[in-house]
Amino acid sequence: MTIDDRLRALAQSTGHPGLDGIETGVFARIEADARAGRQARLGIALAIGSATLAGVASAAPVTDKAHVTVEVVSTRLAPSTLLGGH
């Protein structure tokens, strides 16, 4: 039997019945993975955007100067005094 005879016999044969739904299942899985990846990227972008907005909002200058208070910080326990042993 030549290779041409074998290829012809293979072309005329029917495939295994278990192979019928595999292609549809593979493409559905690829689409589901792509969708999950898009959702993950969207979630990361939202988290970064929220953190950026929070950082910008917390660094905004105070516009109401009548209510600005200055905190006096004690330097008694500053790192420089702790390292010197005082």
Q: Quote the CA–CA distance of 86 and 78 in Å, as a whole number.
A: 10
Query: Which positions of the chain have pLDDT values less than 70?
Result: 60, 62-82, 84-86
pLDDT of residue 14: 84
pTM of this structure:
0.43
pLDDT at 39: 93
**Angstrom distances, CA of residue 65 to CA of 6, 61, 68, 69:** 91, 10, 5, 9
